[in-house]
Structure 1
Amino acid sequence: MTFDVVGTLIDFEAGLKDCLAGIASEAGVTIDGEEALTLYRQARYSDGADLFPDDLVRVYLAIAPTLGLPAERRYGERLRDSARSWKAFPDSAEALARLARDYRLVAMTNARRWAFDHFAAELGNPFHAAFTADDTGTEKPDPAFFERVFDFVASEGAGREDILHVAQSQYHDIGISRKLGMTNCWIERRHAQKGYGGTIEPAAFTTPDYHFTSMADLADAVATARK
């Protein structure tokens, strides 16, 4: 099983909103979390973007004026560094531990390795292997990212047809995994909320092979199927 990490297993939206709210409180202003995510998404996926989460310094300086926050680099660095303490979704670690009993789990993240190391520790270090933007030199949905993983899987005697790719992002993962002939599973983390939050909206929706609203539901379905 291959997994997107940020947004699927790690609640980056809550991490971003909490950090921005803390800065806002110190500045004596109030911000709307969903508005902040919309501004983040627009700034994050613009020209000149750096690798994630280093790019949060640039993003903060871009969105701070609109949110009424102090446009100072030290606050952008604070937002970037907040990634070290972002929390997993409540069901992520337990579900991964259950799945790891029977499957090799491979992380595929657009985050840099320094950030992924913190995410992996937060998740209980369940991964058999991991690929970051530093390892691949590119970001999903670039097919080259996936091809790097396919090469690794082939080195272990398997093929892309043996992989279940699990992710919440239609744009970064579900659409491209379908095009590359993978079986996929969409974890719809924002099922109770409108819009795409901090994740870019896809040009077209891709119906996944499997669809759950939590990692716990996926782990339960796998357990049932194996009986």
Structure 2
Amino acid sequence: MAKSLSQFKYMTFDVVGTLIDFEGGIKDCLSAIAAEAGVSVDGEEALSLYRAARYSDEADLFPDDLVRVYLSIAPKLGLPAEQKYGEQLRDSAKNWKGFPDSAEALASLGKTHKLIAMTNARRWAFEYFSKELGNPFHAAFTVDDTGTEKPDPAFFQKVFDFVATEGNSKDDILHVAQSQYHDIGISRKLGMTNCWIERRHAQKGYGGTIEPAEFTKPDYHFTSMAGLADAVKEASA
């Protein structure tokens, strides 16, 4: 049996896809470019092409890599393959929205737990994401801070080392994320207790997130951040 939600001191969070609706942000930006070009794009097709292009040997750090990704997928979507549009997609990250329940849930969870962000995004983008979410984090780790991306265990070790400076360990952490590939599988292998936020529960496929080699059953499972926040309130009552 997993520990009670009230027993953890920390919650670590994947940000892009769990708290920030990057799929919606990408689709909105591509739709705007398409409208300017006088064409239309299928959002799910665009995400499928994005996923294939994003996870390549040529990938750069996120979201800077969206320039390269755009130039790769634009011809397949009937969009103009111009640098300025790639930069428009990259810069759209500054305006990506949190899921409707993210900020309120984080504000609630922050009353009982220390919240730590763990994102494969660069620090410049994370600052926009954090502001969108109400700056709820006790600490934050980006790809610029760790020098690597999840699911590399070294990323998680940076966080373990940090909580150790506060006299705690990975056993005091509940890791919360939507990505089976980047977070849920590796957190299980590292002996963490985890919580899967299944954002795409009403949709087929993995959208813009790479499909895992195998599915990992999480310790906790909700389809929204609101569900997690409500469960923590109940456990803490």
The two structures share one fold, judged by TM-score above 0.5: yes
Q: Does 1:108 align with 2:113?
A: no
* 1:27 paired to 2:40: no
Q: Which residue of 2 aligns with 1:89?
A: 99
Structure 1 Cα separation of the partners of residues 55 and 111 of structure 2: 37
What SS does the corresponding residue of 1:105 show, helix, strand or coil?
strand
Partner of 2:25: 15
Partner amino acid for 1:21? S
How do 1:134-149 residues align onto structure 2 when only pairs under 5 Å count? 134-149=144-159
- Deviation of residue 102 (structure 1)? 1.0
Aligned-CA RMSD value: 0.3
Match of residue 171 from structure 2:
161
Q: Following superposition of structure 1 onto structure 2, how do residues 52-63 of structure 1 map, counting pairs within 5 Å?
A: 52-63=62-73
CA distance in 2, matches of 1:147, 1:83: 27
Deviation at 1:48, TM superposition (A): 1.0
Give the structure 1 partner of residue 217 of structure 2.
Answer: 207
Structure 1 length as normaliser, TM-score? 1.00
Distance (whole Å) between structure 1 residues aligned to residue 112 and residue 167 of structure 2: 16
Q: Secondary structure of the equivalent of 1:106?
A: strand
Q: How many residue pairs end up in the alignment?
A: 227
Distance 2:188 2:29 in 1: 35
- The 5-angstrom pairing of residues 110-129 of structure 1 reads 110-129=120-139
Percentage of matched positions with identical amino acids? 81
- The 3-state SS of whatever aligns with 1:221 is helix
Distance 2:41 2:58 in 1: 26
Distance 2:30 2:163 in 1: 39
In 2: Cα distance, 1:14 partner to 1:57 partner: 17
Consecutive unaligned residues in structure 1, runs of 5 or more: none
What letter corresponds to residue 152 of structure 2 in structure 1? D
1:205 counterpart letter in structure 2:
F
Matched, 1:132 2:139: no
Deviations 1:96-132 (A, max 9, x none): 0000011100000000000000000000000000000
Query: Alpha-carbon deviations, 1:148-195, whole Å to 9, x = none?
Result: 000001001110011000000000000000000000000000000000
Counterpart of 1:138 in structure 2: which amino acid? Answer: T
CA distance in 2, matches of 1:102, 1:175: 26
CA distance in 1 between counterparts of 2:220 and 2:181 reads 16
Residue equivalent to 1:49: 59
Which residue identity lines up with residue 133 of structure 1 in the other structure?
V
Q: Greater relative contact order (Cα 8 A, min sep 6): structure 1 or 2?
A: 2
Distance 2:28 2:223 in 1: 23
